[in-house]
Amino acid sequence: MVMDVVVLAKHVPDPQGTPELGEDFLLRREGVDGALDPGDEYPLEAALRITEYHGGEVTVVSMGPEPAMTAIRRALSMGAHRAVLITDPALRGADALVTARVLASAVRRQPFDLVLAGIESTDGYTGTLPMTVAELLGVPAATFARRVEVNDRIVRTERQTEEGYDVVECPLPAVVTVTAGATEPRYPTLKGIMQAKQKPVERLTAADLGLSPEELAPTQSVIAVEAAPQKAVGEIVQGDDAVTRVADFLAEAKVI
Amino acid sequence: MAADAIDPLDFLDVDRLLTDDERAIRQMVREWVADRVLPNIEAWFENAEFPREVAKELGGLGLLGMHLTGYDCAGTNAVSYGLACLELEAGDSGFRSFVSVQGSLCMFPIWKFGSEEQKKKWLPAMAAGDLVGCFGLTEPDAGSDPTRMRTSAKRDGSGWVLSGTKMWITNGGIADIAIVWAHADDGIRGFIVPTDTSGFSAKDIHRKLSLRASVTSELILDDVRLSNDHVLPGVVGMKGPLSCLSEARFGIVWGAMGAARSCFDTALGYAKDRVQWGRPIAGFQLTQEKLTDMALELNKGMLLALHLGRMKDEGRVRPQQISMGKLNNVREALKIAREARSILGASGITLEYPIIRHMNNLESVYTYEGTNEIHTLIVGEALTGLRAYE
Ligand SMILES: Cc1cc2nc3c(=O)[nH]c(=O)nc-3n(C[C@H](O)[C@H](O)[C@H](O)COP(=O)(O)OP(=O)(O)OC[C@H]3O[C@@H](n4cnc5c(N)ncnc54)[C@H](O)[C@@H]3O)c2cc1C
């Protein structure tokens, strides 16, 4: 059974750097070094393994400004077959719902069996996007998978939990989010890097997806940003009775 | 990093002179080194071991013979090869040495001077890292002056018999094949010697205090009989081994800057953290002079490497120009390593920091592939038309 797998991938400002906010409180994305979100390499690795086993192709779908091509090239050099990049000035400041609409519309344009995504982005941390995309596509979502397998049109995942994992199965097509507990992503190879440029990348605007200005209008806006409150200075307990006093304090706070 | 800030490790923004592919290749090697070399290198260096199993990993990434075309080689440009050498050597010179020997000293002569059958037989397996090569030119009594080598190759019916000893051979003890250079009737010829051929043996050299994470061996050729399909048909004379050395030296021009970058990076971080007299030692003028001089030479060396790389990709670089690059960049890398060592004070003498390891490694790099003196004299000859070394 040949599988068409879509991976949702995001270009994020350099994960090692300090992110900066613009005057409108939106993350500065232009003129900042960026990369494929490291969290997106896990679903990509899972997608590559699935198509290597079953046959089929991996399509990377990303929404972002021009520099997002860096992330797409990275995914293609790791082995993805083709990519779709949605770039549109109207999408600047798109919130999670608008982004999900855009991605779902782009995914719907081609046949797909499985959509894989990371659990959350390392810049936004909303963690709601993949489930929203599933809802818009009208397919089930299985989340927090540390393992993804496909058999007879059924996707079987191991959903990571605090104690271990739950086995979750659902029929295809489906959306699955993959954790960093899954198989380590591969390195791009030299051949992969050199072939990436020849692979097809479709570039779309919001208009190409047939989305109306109303559908693109953010439903959220950031009106203020405050620094996280400083942690209050702790109390230093010294002296012979220190142990008892610390124990009393912890008991009072109901932590022991 | 914000777009307008100066990157201390790339002060002149040499990065912007690279193509997207070149940056992606460098990034991939950098990540591999961070994941696979850096966590283990102190132990490998201390225990004097080279983890042979990484050969296949390097092959899987496409790094072995990467600048060659066809026969499962990746076919990148020279600049990409240089960048890979730089990132590997920022990990440890032993890894760069391994890749230089495999790609430039062993695969290159087969690719350049071998028959079609030889290329098909050996190159794909070497590119994959399934077979490891070594390069035997130097002998106990013939180092800088390899023309006076004693190893001989005598005709024996339709085949050959090789006898002699090779010394200081990287990968010797772990190699599946050796490229051996020997005197034949018509001049110096190159041979592909499978190391399981009877009469061939390798003895590892121990007690090295430099390039410890790399195998260095003596090769003994005791009447090694080879059929005629083991001689490289395409070259007779010293230009055979010398053209390989030119390839490998090009990688060293870049690699040395990798070791230097690691030392500089470590020293800069240490100087900003280490407090004496109530303030970071980075705030003292003498430390700043050291750091500035290191950054200066690092950036000049990068520009030199990139310039030679672009010339190589245009097919117009001369061996004497590569000599100038090797001369400068290894010399300056060694100076940077020593200066960095001084900034770390006592901490600089331990394996906890990469500096003294790089510094000791660079002593080998200073000597192999043509010593600093020989490259000085090669440039001197190119300038004056007078040969001073023989
Ligand atoms: C770790 C390591 C790995 C190596 N790997 C390999 C390998 O894989 N394959 C291989 O074939 N070789 C290898 N070599 C050998 C290396 O290439 C030689 O050591 C080098 O060519 C110098 O030769 P030598 O050590 O015999 O020094 P010598 O040639 O004896 O030189 C000693 C000193 O005299 C100087 N000198 C010599 N002639 C002149 C002159 N005319 N004018 C001025 N000064 C001069 C030299 O510059 C040097 O300072 C390796 C060496 C090392 C240390």
Residues B250 and B374 in one domain: yes
- B250 and B368 both lie in a single domain: yes
Catalytic: which of B89, B139, B247, B369? Answer: B369
Cα distances from A181 to residues A125, A149, B316, in angstroms, run: 17, 15, 50
In a domain, B31, yes or no: yes
Same structural domain, B151 and B116: no
Question: How many whole angstroms separate alpha carbon B98 and alpha carbon B104?
Answer: 10
pTM tops 0.80: yes
B312 lies in some domain: yes
The 3-state DSSP class for residue A143 equals: strand
Domain match, B322 and B372 both:
yes
* Ligand 1 geometric centre to CA of B245 (Å): 13
Does residue B142 lie within any of the structural domains?
A: yes
Helix (H) / strand (E) containing A154: strand A154-160
Q: Which residues contact A85 (CB under 8 A, 6 or more apart)?
A: A62, A63, A64, A68, A69, A72, A201, A202, A203, A204
Give residue A103's pLDDT.
95
Residue A181 is predicted with a pLDDT of 86
What is the CATH number for B263? Answer: 1.20.140.10
- Domains, chain A, with CATH or none: 3-216 (3.40.50.620)
Do B35 and B64 belong together in one domain? yes
Per the prediction, chain A carries an average pLDDT of: 90
Does residue B389 lie within any of the structural domains?
no
pLDDT at B3: 55
Asked which of B230, B263, B285 is the last residue of a domain, the reply is B230
Q: Is the peptide bond before A173 cis (omega within 30 degrees of 0)?
A: yes
- Helices of type H across B100-238: 108-113, 116-127
* CATH, residue B204: 2.40.110.10
Question: E strands within A172-228?
Answer: 174-178, 201-204
User: CA distances (Å), B92 to each of A65, B212, B297, B365, in order?
Assistant: 38, 10, 20, 12
> B390 in a domain, yes or no?
no
In which domain, by residue range, is B289 found? 239-384
DSSP state letters, B21-71: HHHHHHHHHHHHIIIIITTTHHHHHHTT---TTHHHHHHHHT-TTTTS-ST
- For A147-168, write each residue's pLDDT tens digit: 999 998 999 999 999 899 999 9
Q: Please give the Cα distance from B59 to B66 (Å, whole number).
A: 9
Interface test with B, best of A70, A190, A191 (most B CBs within 10 A): A190
Please calculate the CA angle A149-A153-A155 and round it to the nearest 5 degrees: 30
Mark whether B369 is an active-site residue. Answer: yes
Tell me whether residues A189 and B80 touch, CB distance under 8 A.
Answer: no
**Are B314 and B247 within one domain?**
yes
Residues touching ligand 1 (Cβ under 6 Å) are: B 101, 135-138, 143-144, 168-170, 211, 216, 364, 367-368, 371, 373-374, 377, 389
- Same domain flag for B113 and B163: no
Residue A23: alpha-carbon gap to chain centroid? 26
Q: How many domains does chain B have?
A: 3
- Decide: helix, strand or coil at residue B357: helix
Residue B304 alpha carbon to ligand 1 centre in Å: 24
Interface of B with A (CB under 8 A): 1-3, 20-21, 24-25, 28, 31-32, 60-63, 66, 74-76, 80
Residues B222 and B322 in one domain: no
Ordered per-residue pLDDT tens for chain B, 390 residues: 455 789 999 999 999 999 999 999 999 999 999 999 999 999 999 999 999 999 999 999 999 999 999 999 999 999 999 999 999 999 999 999 999 999 999 999 999 999 999 999 999 999 999 999 999 999 999 999 999 999 999 999 999 999 999 999 999 999 999 999 999 999 999 999 999 999 999 999 999 999 999 999 999 999 999 999 999 999 999 999 999 999 999 999 999 999 999 999 999 999 999 999 999 999 999 999 999 999 999 999 999 999 999 999 999 999 999 999 999 999 999 999 999 999 999 999 999 999 999 999 999 999 999 999 999 999 999 999 999 998
Reference B302, options B359, B253, B353, B373; nearest CA is B253
Task: Specify the residue for token string 């009447």.
Answer: B223
Give the span between the Cα atoms of B368 and B97, in whole angstroms.
10
Question: What per-residue confidence (pLDDT) applies to A214?
Answer: 87
Q: Tell me how far the alpha carbon of residue B44 lies from the centroid of ligand 1, in angstroms.
A: 25
Q: Which atom of ligand 1 is nearest to the CA of B146?
A: 21
User: Measured between beta carbons, which residues in chain A are less than 8 angstroms from residue B25?
Assistant: 190, 193
Asked if A193's CB is within 8 angstroms of B75's CB, the reply is no
**H/E run at residue B323:** helix B319-343
Pick A188's closest partner by Cβ from B1, B24, B75: B24
Mutate to test the pocket of ligand 1, among B252, B371, B379 (most ligand atoms within 8 A of CB): B371
How high is the pLDDT of residue A226?
85
Q: Pull the structure tokens for residue A1.
A: 């059974």
Residue B166 Cα: closest atom of ligand 1: 11
Same domain, B178 and B280: no
Is the pLDDT at A27 greater than 90? The verdict is: no
Tens of pLDDT, residue by residue over A84-109, are 999 998 888 888 899 999 999 999 99
Asked whether A154 and A172 are in contact (CB, 8 A), the reply is yes
Strand A201-204 to B279-280 pairing: unpaired
Query: Is the domain of B192 the same as that of B257?
Result: no
The CATH number linked to B15 is 1.10.540.10
Residue A255's pLDDT is 80
Which of B79, B84, B116 is CA-nearest to residue B102? B84
Tokens of B263: 């030392």
| ipTM of model | 0.85
Same domain, B83 and B175: no
Of A18, A31, A188, the CB nearest to B3: A31
Residue B181, φ and ψ in degrees, nearest 5: -100, 130
What is the rounded distance in angstroms from the CA atom of residue B171 to the CA atom of residue B174? Answer: 5
Domain stops at, among B79, B95, B127: B127
B183's CB contacts (< 8 A; 6+ apart) are B149, B150, B151, B152, B153
Residues with Cβ within 8 Å of A206's Cβ and at least 6 positions away in sequence, in order, are: A86, A88, A90, A91, A102, A216
Say if B2 falls within a structural domain. Answer: no
Q: How many helices (H) and strands (E) does chain B have?
A: 12, 9
* The pair of three-digit structure tokens given for residue B65, joined into one six-digit string: 């013979």
Show which of B204, B230, B256 is a domain's final residue: B230
Q: Are residues B100 and B120 in the same domain?
A: yes
What ligand 1 atom has the least distance to the C-alpha of B389? 41
